[in-house]
Amino acid sequence: MLKRLPLIGALVVALSAVPDGAAAAPNPQVRVKTSMGEFVIELYPDKAPLSVANFLQYVNDGFYSGTIFHRVIPNFMVQGGGFTADLYKGTLRPKATRAPIALESKNGLKNDTGWVAMARTGDPNSATSQFFINVVDNNGLNHPQPDGHGYAVFGKVIQGMDVVNAIRKVRTTNVQMYQDVPADAVVIDSMAVVGGAR
């Protein structure tokens, strides 16, 4: 019994440090409705505050409605959040975005199956609205790979991974200079925060 007292004492101290009625804030969750079904992403602001705040602002602004998954590589990832279906009509530029954010790739989250990361160019601090979902474990995207910087993971698909796996299997084609484009548009109809902080 005496050996248990320090643990119990530590527990009492820890509990007394939490204000009455307070609880850890739940992580935000975003429901993604697509032309192939829906899935839910849980976000981790404690690990990637800039990426999560950036993503949530695009969600709350309705930016993603009508965008597409424009890059699908079945043994790698599915990427979306930048182009609309006008890409198929020759509009080759993505939607206008806000300023890019700083890279948060050293947060301990990994580019494993089902985890969501910010897409970027060769400039590590160039992420805006585009994101990708890893459909396999992509260790080569974790900091410092593949270019000394890595890719910032900020969320995870917690429901509907079957939908993501269906998207990864669609037939792809080339649209002018863009490769791995779904032959038939996979459209994001809407995104909405459904749980946690908004």
Domain boundaries, the chain: 25-195
Cis ω before 144 (30° cut-off from 0) = yes
Q: What is the predicted pLDDT for the residue at 165? A: 98
Sorted by sequence, the CB contacts under 8 Å of residue 149 that are 6+ apart come out as: 103, 105, 124, 143
- Kindly report the number of other CB atoms within 10 A of residue 99's CB atom: 6
Pick among 3.40.640.10, 2.40.100.10, 3.30.70.1230, 3.20.20.70: CATH of 25-195: 2.40.100.10
Which tens digits make up the pLDDT trace of 86-96?
999 999 999 99
Distance between CA atoms of residues 83 and 62, nearest Å? 14
Residue with tokens 């080569």: 140
Distance between CA atoms of residues 192 and 183, nearest Å? 27
- 8 Å CB contact between 108 and 153: no
State yes or no: pLDDT of 142 exceeds 60: yes
pTM of the model: 0.87
Q: Cα–chain-centroid distance for residue 73? A: 17
When pLDDT is averaged across residues 177-197 and rounded to a whole number, the result is: 94
Q: DSSP class of residue 62? A: T
Q: DSSP class of residue 50? A: H
- 8 Å CB contact between 73 and 62: no
Q: What is the predicted pLDDT for the residue at 25? A: 76
Sorted by sequence, the CB contacts under 8 Å of residue 10 that are 6+ apart come out as: none
What does the mean pLDDT of the chain come to? 91
- 8 Å CB contact between 183 and 69: no
- At residue 196 the predicted structure's pLDDT band, cuts being 50, 70 and 90, is confident
CA-to-CA separations, 80 to 59, 119, 124, in angstroms, rounded? 13, 9, 18
21 vs 150: which has the higher pLDDT: 150
- At residue 114 the predicted structure's pLDDT band, cuts being 50, 70 and 90, is very high
Token pair belonging to 29: 């969750």
When pLDDT is averaged across residues 22-51 and rounded to a whole number, the result is: 93
Question: Which phi and psi (to 5°) does residue 86 adopt?
Answer: -65, -15
Cis ω before 146 (30° cut-off from 0) = yes
- At residue 7 the predicted structure's pLDDT band, cuts being 50, 70 and 90, is very low
> CA nearest 58: which of 161, 193, 187?
193
Token pair belonging to 147: 């270019």
